[in-house]
Amino acid sequence: MKKEILIAQVILDHYHAKLDHLFDYLIPEYMQTLIQPGMRVTVPFGRNNRLTEAFVMTIKYRQKVDQPLKELAHISDDAYAMTATQIELVQWMKKSYLCRYIEGIRCFVPNNRTGKKRVLWVHCQLESDELAEQQMKMKRAPMQQKILEVLHDIRHAPLASLLKMTGASNGAVKALAAKGLITISEEIVRRNPFKDLLTTPYPEPILTDYQERAMLLIRGHWEKKPDTPVLLHGITGSGKTEIYLQLIKSTLEQQRDSILLVPEIALTPQMVQRFRGRFGDQVAVLHSHLSEGEKLDEWGRIHRGEAKIVIGPRSAIFAPCQNLGIIIIDEEHEHTYKSEQAPRYHATEIARQRCRLEKAQLLLGSATPSLESYHEAEHQKLLLVELKERAAGGCLPQVEVVDLRREAREGNRTLFSRSLIAALEHCLGKKHQAILLLNRRAFATLVMCPRCGYVAKCSQCDISMKWHRKEQVLKCHYCGQKESVPENCPECGELVSFQGAGTQKVEEGLQSLFPHHVVARMDQDVTRQKGSHQAILERFEAKKIDLLVGTQMIAKGLDFPNVTVVGILLADTSLNLPDFRAAEKTFQLMTQVAGRAGRGTQEGKVILQTFQPDHYAVHLSAIQDYHRFYHEEIQIRQRFLYPPFSRLIQVTFWSESEEAVAKAAYHSAAAIRFLLEKSGYGEHLEEVMEPGPALIAKIENRYRYTLLMKSVQIPYHIMRKTVKYLLMEGRDRYISPMVTVTIDPDPRFVG
């Protein structure tokens, strides 16, 4: 019988379209018992046989090979191999997100270039007292003597601190080691991302009846249908976190791992604090703000099973748990779960795949579930569990809608309505705190001509410039370009005026209204430095701040019982964005911010200011009626065939040349239609929309065109395949090489 040949199919650790396929290598005899799919290897590559890192995807057997193959050079000795399910997920990601193999692999595999952190310890070798005394009396160099004396008392110390204590140099220690009087050992220490985190025990509370019932429902459901996910719809303050803690506790009891996703890094510390308070060092955290070393250490702890609970933002969905029991996604509706870079995955989708492959359970939690999820629950694809009462016993805050049109008619053109001022005065009088939301991104300080309507725009990005008062400049928030402020309108010469208000202006306005109280601001400008976000929250919690003004980032997760008033300065901003999810986003934001009020025993009040008090997203969020909102919105989605009644693919074309992008976009659209027609979908070509300039038509001097496809009758995978063909094999025929193309399957922002 002929001997079989073992071949490893590998993906090179290089980011290039031409290398995005499997390469075959012979597995040398001695490796055959060691090699496993998922391992990291080194292979000779190219004419020069340059050694290159690669990942083994599959191992195949052949009787003969048609072309001479090279052999694997060696197996990397790290323990960070991908598991079989991870390999399967990489393949699935490539297909679903049209990304490259290596982009998928890099989600799972840590950057190995950073070594481990080592600490040298010095140990005293003088054991018995007699010998020690004898040795001590010997004549010795003064420094070495001093080291011995110090070390004799404390027995051992880290080298660095020993040198500091004695003032000795490394040479003195080395000399003693050479004489055998001391030894030096190496300890690999874990870089601890929790060193600044104060952990206090977080005891188990008694569950409310609603929480108890929810737990029973969830457990009972998973006993019967372990592979159907659960959607936990709980109003703000209903104690969803406690449900997460309980579910993770039972997972832990079964010796299985848990992953808890939170919408953003800024929210991890407070979640981690609670979980570490309950579960201690079994909790690991994974996110991009950790240093490379910290990341690697946490990764290793999870991989080895030392940490069984992982908390983090979307990328934590790739945590190397070996025995996954549950994945929980908090605030499931948040758009931050969608990656905006390749691979453009959605964490919930990855979670579903992982749960399917690893036989784990999936729980989605939200106060305002995404339309897609709730629609699935309505069709029994998810089990809906509701928490309708606040855990602390308080009721939902009362929301007062203030009509800004009327306010203006009656002479108040500021962003502080009379109702809001009255509410704040009342609140501060009782020594309570208040939160004010202003979504600056959509409604910021801009320079405008009151006569001709001219607005200062960035010459590179087609975006209105934002006025920064402190620096006295205009800044573009997309490319960062600065310009001086014109005094007169460049179009008609009229004196310009400053329109709108940013958080900064609100902060100042508030301070002058309440000069004896402390006003603080939290937005991207203030929280850019690491840790400042946390610092502001700590000051707020310690009641050193009375009024907190901020952007969206103050809407999420904050749980301060002393906050009794929440002001939404302008609800309309997100409503007017040209995006089919604008109403949903507005509803979610309003509900969430409102939920910050009255979380303690005192009643909360919300002032919602708007120019459109009759819009359903505004008044339904004011009465906090999710179900009615869902039914209004789902009808609109159905009528216009938006998700969940369709799936979208958005292709964006970028180029310095406007002519080239436009051409590429129109040619691509035509090509896609042609290809679809050839595949027999000629009846439904209207599902490929007309391409056009993107909502932000120019960023950093690059023009953008978008092409949207709405899959209703044409199956999604056919559309995906067609787009993929266009960009791979057909690319040269339809798209100029000057144009960059990005494909976004299931985009979160359309435009």
Q: Which of 18, 224, 379, 639 binds DNA (CB under 7 A)?
A: 18
- In the complex with DNA, the residue whose CB is nearer, 113 or 516, is 113
Per the CB < 8 A criterion, the answer to whether 391 and 237 are in contact is: yes
Q: Which of 38, 39, 40, 45 binds DNA (CB under 7 A)?
A: 45
Number of residues lying near DNA (CB under 7 A): 19
Residue 734 binds to DNA (criterion: CB under 7 A): no
- In the complex with DNA, the residue whose CB is nearer, 48 or 380, is 48
Does 461 appear as a known binding residue? yes
- In the complex with DNA, the residue whose CB is nearer, 102 or 547, is 102
Identify the CA nearest to 645 among candidates 336, 409, 368, 376. Answer: 376
- In the complex with DNA, the residue whose CB is nearer, 186 or 732, is 732
Identify the CA nearest to 453 among candidates 494, 501, 408. Answer: 494
Structure tokens at 324: 């996954």
Identify the CA nearest to 81 among candidates 58, 114, 54, 109. Answer: 109
Q: Give CA–CA dist 4/60, Å, rounded.
A: 10
- In the complex with DNA, the residue whose CB is nearer, 25 or 345, is 25
Residue 142 binds to DNA (criterion: CB under 7 A): no
User: Parallel, antiparallel, or unpaired for β 433-437 and 309-312?
Assistant: unpaired
Torsion angles phi and psi, residue 357, rounded to 5: -75, -30
Going by the DSSP 8-state scheme, the letter that residue 588 receives in this structure is H
- Given the rule CB under 7 A, which of 14-22, 192-200, 454-462, 596-604 is the region that contacts DNA? 14-22
Does 476 appear as a known binding residue? yes
- Given the rule CB under 7 A, which of 64-72, 288-296, 501-509, 556-564 is the region that contacts DNA? 64-72
Among the residues of 483-642, which ranges form H helices?
503-513, 532-541, 582-594, 616-622, 626-640
Q: Name 74's bridge partners.
A: 42
- Given the rule CB under 7 A, which of 38-46, 107-115, 491-499, 566-574 is the region that contacts DNA? 38-46
- In the complex with DNA, the residue whose CB is nearer, 50 or 413, is 50
Identify the CA nearest to 743 among candidates 640, 639, 665. Answer: 665
Residue 47 binds to DNA (criterion: CB under 7 A): yes
Q: How far is the CB of 662 from DNA (least distance, A)?
A: 24
Q: How far is the CB of 413 from DNA (least distance, A)?
A: 55
Per the CB < 8 A criterion, the answer to whether 212 and 204 are in contact is: no
Q: How far is the CB of 6 from DNA (least distance, A)?
A: 13
Q: How far is the CB of 507 from DNA (least distance, A)?
A: 46
- Given the rule CB under 7 A, which of 67-75, 629-637, 672-680, 712-720 is the region that contacts DNA? 67-75
- Given the rule CB under 7 A, which of 9-17, 274-282, 339-347, 664-672 is the region that contacts DNA? 9-17
Label each residue of 721-747 as H, E or C.
Answer: HHHHHHHCCCHHHHCCCCCEEEEEECC
Per the CB < 8 A criterion, the answer to whether 575 and 617 are in contact is: yes
Question: What is the contact mask toward DNA in residues 68 to 87, using x (rule: CB under 7 A)?
Answer: -xx-----------------
Q: How far is the CB of 726 from DNA (least distance, A)?
A: 20
- Give the SS3 label for residue 464: strand
Does 452 appear as a known binding residue? yes
Q: Give CA–CA dist 230/84, Å, rounded.
A: 26
- In the complex with DNA, the residue whose CB is nearer, 45 or 275, is 45
- Given the rule CB under 7 A, which of 21-29, 556-564, 623-631, 661-669 is the region that contacts DNA? 21-29
- Given the rule CB under 7 A, which of 8-16, 294-302, 582-590, 653-661 is the region that contacts DNA? 8-16
Sign of torsion, CA 236 241 246 250? positive
Per the CB < 8 A criterion, the answer to whether 308 and 338 are in contact is: no
Q: Give CA–CA dist 562/431, Å, rounded.
A: 9
- Residues whose CB falls within 8 Å of the CB of residue 600, separated by 6 or more in sequence, listed in order: 392, 394, 561, 562
Residue 50 binds to DNA (criterion: CB under 7 A): yes
- In the complex with DNA, the residue whose CB is nearer, 9 or 135, is 9
Does 489 appear as a known binding residue? yes
Q: How far is the CB of 279 from DNA (least distance, A)?
A: 42
Does 479 appear as a known binding residue? yes
Q: How far is the CB of 44 from DNA (least distance, A)?
A: 7
Q: How far is the CB of 440 from DNA (least distance, A)?
A: 38
Q: How far is the CB of 55 from DNA (least distance, A)?
A: 14
Per the CB < 8 A criterion, the answer to whether 428 and 559 are in contact is: no
- Given the rule CB under 7 A, which of 62-70, 399-407, 454-462, 532-540 is the region that contacts DNA? 62-70
Q: How far is the CB of 8 from DNA (least distance, A)?
A: 9
Q: How far is the CB of 106 from DNA (least distance, A)?
A: 14
Query: Residue 177 class from Cβ within 10 Å (0-12 exposed, 13-18 middle, 19+ buried)?
Result: middle
Helices 240-253 + 268-279 axis angle, to 10: 50
Structure tokens at 338: 């969608």
- Given the rule CB under 7 A, which of 10-18, 99-107, 160-168, 217-225 is the region that contacts DNA? 10-18
Residue 222 binds to DNA (criterion: CB under 7 A): no
Q: Which of 25, 279, 318, 653 binds DNA (CB under 7 A)?
A: 25
Structure tokens at 418: 């009379």
- In the complex with DNA, the residue whose CB is nearer, 46 or 515, is 46
Residue 392 binds to DNA (criterion: CB under 7 A): no
**40-45, strands of its sheet edge to edge:** 23-26, 5-12, 50-62, 40-45, 74-75
Going by the DSSP 8-state scheme, the letter that residue 314 receives in this structure is G
Does 458 appear as a known binding residue? yes
Going by the DSSP 8-state scheme, the letter that residue 632 receives in this structure is H
Q: Give CA–CA dist 104/330, Å, rounded.
A: 24
The H-or-E segment that residue 392 falls in is none
Residue 62 binds to DNA (criterion: CB under 7 A): no
Per the CB < 8 A criterion, the answer to whether 648 and 616 are in contact is: no
Residue 67 binds to DNA (criterion: CB under 7 A): yes
Identify the CA nearest to 98 among candidates 738, 751, 750, 709. Answer: 709
Q: Give CA–CA dist 661/705, Å, rounded.
A: 6
Residue 101 binds to DNA (criterion: CB under 7 A): no
**361-366, strands of its sheet edge to edge:** 283-285, 309-312, 257-261, 324-329, 361-366, 230-234, 383-387
Per the CB < 8 A criterion, the answer to whether 455 and 466 are in contact is: no
- In the complex with DNA, the residue whose CB is nearer, 44 or 644, is 44
Q: How far is the CB of 13 from DNA (least distance, A)?
A: 10
Q: Which of 3, 33, 34, 48 binds DNA (CB under 7 A)?
A: 48
Residue 23 binds to DNA (criterion: CB under 7 A): yes
Q: How far is the CB of 12 from DNA (least distance, A)?
A: 8
Quickly count: other Cβ atoms within 10 Å of residue 307's Cβ: 23
- In the complex with DNA, the residue whose CB is nearer, 47 or 224, is 47
Q: Give CA–CA dist 339/104, Å, rounded.
A: 12
- In the complex with DNA, the residue whose CB is nearer, 213 or 731, is 731
Structure tokens at 221: 């459901």
Residue 16 binds to DNA (criterion: CB under 7 A): yes
Residue 46 binds to DNA (criterion: CB under 7 A): yes
Residue 61 binds to DNA (criterion: CB under 7 A): no
User: Parallel, antiparallel, or unpaired for β 605-610 and 398-403?
Assistant: parallel
Structure tokens at 639: 């009528």
Residue 14 binds to DNA (criterion: CB under 7 A): yes
Q: How far is the CB of 292 from DNA (least distance, A)?
A: 19
Q: How far is the CB of 183 from DNA (least distance, A)?
A: 42
- In the complex with DNA, the residue whose CB is nearer, 46 or 411, is 46
DSSP character string of 393-404 = SPPPPEEEEEEH
Residue 19 binds to DNA (criterion: CB under 7 A): yes
Binding-site sequence positions for Zn(2+): 449, 452, 458, 461, 476, 479, 489, 492
Binding-site sequence positions: 449, 452, 458, 461, 476, 479, 489, 492
Which residues form the interface with DNA (CB under 7 A)?
14-16, 18-19, 22-25, 44-50, 67, 69-70
